[in-house]
Structure 1
Amino acid sequence: MTFKSVLLGTAVALAAAGSLAAETYRPECFAAAPGSGEISYEAKDGPYKIAFVNGFAGNDWRIQAIQSAKAWAARPENAAKIEDFKVVSVGNDSAAQIAAIDNFIAAGYDAVTFIAVNPTAFEPVIRRAARAGTVLVPFDNVLDSDKVVMVNESQIGLGHLKAQTVMDALGGKAKKILMVNGLPGNATDRDRRVGMMEVLGQVEGLEIVEVVGNWDTGTSQKVVSDALATHGQFDGVVSQHGAAGTINAMQAAGHPIVPMGVDAENGVRMLMDELNIPGVSASQSPALSAIALEAAVALLEGHTLPQNLALPIPQVKAEDLAPGVNYFPDLPKSFNTGTGFAECFEPFTPEELLGQSADNN
């Protein structure tokens, strides 16, 4: 493997990203985050053996991420490059996830994609993969590492977007905001909270009430109900994911409509439009699982990619919501509207995704 680090100050980061675009493969898809280095491997002949090692599988986003990965592998242009494709979910235990990755390395798999259970435990398995010639591509919950290509949207940017939209709707002033966080211990949860606090921490006299929603609709509904019973009314809400539960809890409590920064599940957008909730619907796309597979194949083919990939954040302001355009009344409420990135490949149709299982295979 060759690895070239590019260490840059803020002032030249964007210029550096532009220079990387001239050197790396398909920059319209594999866009470099500011300050990113480059990674490449010696090319291998295909077809390839690839695995996706998921961790936590207890919410609709993770289910759709698995479905997206399987839908990607089923497309003829990708299936022709794959000898074997496995998907396993191991729960929220880093030791179990590392063991699963090690098993695929030992079995001679060419690449493993994964949603890291935590950002710091994977340095030893990265070294073992490098010795074995296995390409690792974490996505969504990525690593505190510069040794592997990582696929993500800006999680800090996503948190910042939601909080800023809410505060803009409130004229920059608020007394009390509810923050519904995700699954503790994950880099995604950490970074989204950092982005929210970049905005909310600057609001004078603001009380921020934080609850743990685990990115899950049912959990969010329970913890928000408890927060409303304890703290009363809020001026606005920022939710990482599972916001349908947050909205349902507020409706059940008779809470007034307030600005919200929420996720992009179909049911969330339906509720925003129906109830005229101001704010923004923005989310991590489950189709990042497919982009990670696309990146893994590109690396196996010998192409150079940025070490940190930063895809655009799918988002819609409340006033721009439209049925049949950016939400779908005839589809399940749990369906995530972020079905792909047109910069990389044709986004998945609902039929492609819903035709795939979320089971291990």
Structure 2
Amino acid sequence: MRKSKPLAVMLGAVSVAAMTLGAARAETFKPECFSPAADNKKTIQYDAKKGPYKIALVNGYVGNDWRITAIQSAKAWGARPDNAKLLSDFKVISVGNDSAAQIAAIDNFIAAGYDAVVINAVNPTAFDAVVKRAQKAGTVLVTFDNVLDSDKIVQVNEDQFELGRMKAQAVVDGIKAAKGDVSGQVLEISGLPGNSVDRDNHEGMRSVLDKYKGLKVIQVVGNWDAGTAEKGTADAIATNGKFDGVMVQEGAIGALHAMQAANHPVVPIGVDAGNGTRQLAAKGKYPGVTAAQAPAMAALALEASIVLLEGHALPQKVFLPIPNKANADLVSGTDYFPDLPPNFYTTTGYPQCFPPFKPDELLGQNASNNG
């Protein structure tokens, strides 16, 4: 790939310059993988540093299947021989839903001379000071999934607004096909409050739902957790009766179990792509879509940190494609796996970036700290 030349404005060890989207596509590393978001305005490039590298991933909350798989993906990435030879030290830790603890962990890795720290942020707004400290120390920071509201570091994500919009649109289309109009009430199971992903998914859903005055939206917090989503769905059905459509950010297997337990009719759903979710969606013939915020994004963020340490330029705001499939088109053995656990995540990588993980690569890792 063509390597970008040093850019104009120096911030510590990093060069940053505003440029057009077209220029970003032409000049950045491996654009078929690290594609700039539509509103990307900058590239980021660091001076090349000789490896092997010391890299850490600092996660926040880990109490759901998605986060567990993200940590497994990170460790599986580090275990691949081509990556392992680039690493002199590789730590993966989770600190809980506490921004102060996460910032302290990042500072500890900066002070210990780590070359890069990858972050799934507890919230999007509390990290400006630690970003400055990292720049001063020459430490590369990359965020993924729950990214920071900052244009000073590379963000690796999917379009969270579009992910929410896609799910809501599938539900609205299903309601219209069933009833001839878009009316009634729908259930929105949101994520973990205070995170950018929760905010952006919610806003994407509402960009569709708010167009229809005949729709009543009941929202409950799901924390991206199957158990929480199950209880929230059961309570919502008990309080409000049946729904005409259901949208879940993550943990939809719980919502579907609650619907089945309540003998809720089959309605359009816009949900995640977990193995158990897709099994239930296919077996129950639920109209709608399963769309993934793929946990393997953690590995892509680690890959991005290596790219930056090697001196290549990346878009400041990377958007990966959203893996999705209409529920009517789900195929056993390809889109979901009856012989694997329900909490296995079916989208195990981004083929345009690196070979997707095989199930045994992920299932052979755990989610415990190794820091």
Q: How far, CA to CA, are the matches of 1:268 and 1:196 in structure 2?
A: 19
Name structure 2 gaps, 5 residues minimum.
Answer: 1-13
Q: Residues of 1 paired with 2:21 and 2:362: CA distance? A: 33
Once residues 267 and 309 of structure 1 are traced to their aligned partners in structure 2, the CA distance between those partners, rounded to angstroms, is 29
Match of 2:32 among 28, 32, 35: 28
> Distance between the aligned counterparts of 1:35 and 1:359, measured in 2?
36
Structure 1 vs Structure 2 CA RMSD: 0.8
Check if 1:116 corresponds to 2:102: no
Residue in structure 2 matched with residue 11 of structure 1 by the alignment = none
The code of the aligned residue for 2:130 comes to V
Supply the distance in 2 between the matched residues of 1:35 and 1:328 (Cα, whole angstroms): 37
Amino acid at match of 2:215: L
Whether 2:66 is the aligned partner of 1:57: answer no
Which secondary structure state, in structure 1, belongs to the residue aligned with residue 333 of structure 2? coil
Contact 2:182-2:214 at 8 Å conserved across structures: no
- Pairing 1:79-228 to 2, within 5 Å after superposition: 79-171=84-176, 173-228=182-237
Paired amino acid for 1:213: G
Q: What whole-Å deviation, never above 9, does each CA across 1:214-234 have from its counterpart, x for those lacking one?
A: 000001000111111111111
Q: Which residue of 2 aligns with 1:297?
A: 306
In the aligned structure 2, how far is the partner of 1:317 from the partner of 1:193?
21
Aligned-partner residue type, residue 223 of structure 1: G
Residues in 2 aligned to 1:291 and 1:18: alpha-carbon distance in whole angstroms: 23
Q: TM-score, normalised by structure 1?
A: 0.96
CA distance in 2, matches of 1:212, 1:242: 11
Supply the distance in 2 between the matched residues of 1:66 and 1:18 (Cα, whole angstroms).
34
Q: Which runs of 5+ in 1 are unaligned?
A: 7-15
Match of 2:326 in 1: 317
SS of equivalent residue, structure 1 residue 334: coil
By how many angstroms is 1:55 displaced?
0.4
1:2 aligns with 2:30: no
Show the counterpart of 1:329. Answer: 338
CA distance in 2 between counterparts of 1:5 and 1:253 reads: 54
Q: Secondary structure at the match of 1:170?
A: helix
Offset of residue 300 of structure 1: 0.4
Match of residue 48, structure 1, among 37, 49, 53: 53
Q: For 2:105 and 2:23, how far apart are their aligned partners in 1?
A: 37
Matched, 1:348 2:357: yes
Alpha-carbon distance in 1 for matches of 2:174, 2:22? 34
Q: Distance in 1 between matches of 2:337 and 2:49?
A: 42
TM-aligned CA deviation for residue 206 of structure 1: 1.4
Q: CA deviation at 1:205?
A: 2.5
* Helix, strand or coil at the partner of 1:137: strand
Which of 4, 20, 23 aligns to 1:19? It is 23
Instruction: Give the Cα separation in 1 of the matches to 2:248 and 2:366.
Output: 27
- 1:86: how far off? 0.2
Q: Report whether the alignment pairs 1:308 with 2:317.
A: yes
Q: 2:43, 2:305 → 1: CA distance?
A: 14
Q: Which residue of 1 aligns with 2:295?
A: 286
Deviation readout 1:265-284 (Å, 9 max, x if unpaired): 00000001111111100020
Aligned to 1:252: 261
CA contact (8 A) 2:44 2:315 kept: yes
Aligned twin of 1:12: none
* 1:351 partner SS: helix
**Distance in 2 (alpha carbons) for counterparts of 1:355 and 1:246:** 28
Task: Quote the residue 2:75 is aligned against.
Answer: 70
2:84 maps to amino acid: A
| One-letter amino acid matched to 1:337 | T
TM-score, length of structure 2 as denominator length: 0.94
Question: In the alignment, is the contact (CA less than 8 A) between 2:185 and 2:243 conserved in 1?
Answer: yes
Alignment partners' CA distance in 2, 1:70 and 1:109: 17
2:7 maps to which residue? none
1:245 and 1:25 map into 2 onto residues whose CA distance is 40
Q: Residue type of the partner of 1:304?
A: A
Deviation of 1:181 after TM superposition, in Å, equals 0.2
**Aligned pair 1:234/2:247, yes or no?**
no
What percentage of aligned pairs have identical amino acids?
60
Structure 1 residue 337: deviation in Å?
0.8
1:292-339, Cα deviation, whole Å (9 max, x unpaired): 000000000000000000000010101110100110000000001110
CA distance in 1, matches of 2:119, 2:190: 22
How far apart are 1:17 and its partner, in Å?
A: 3.0
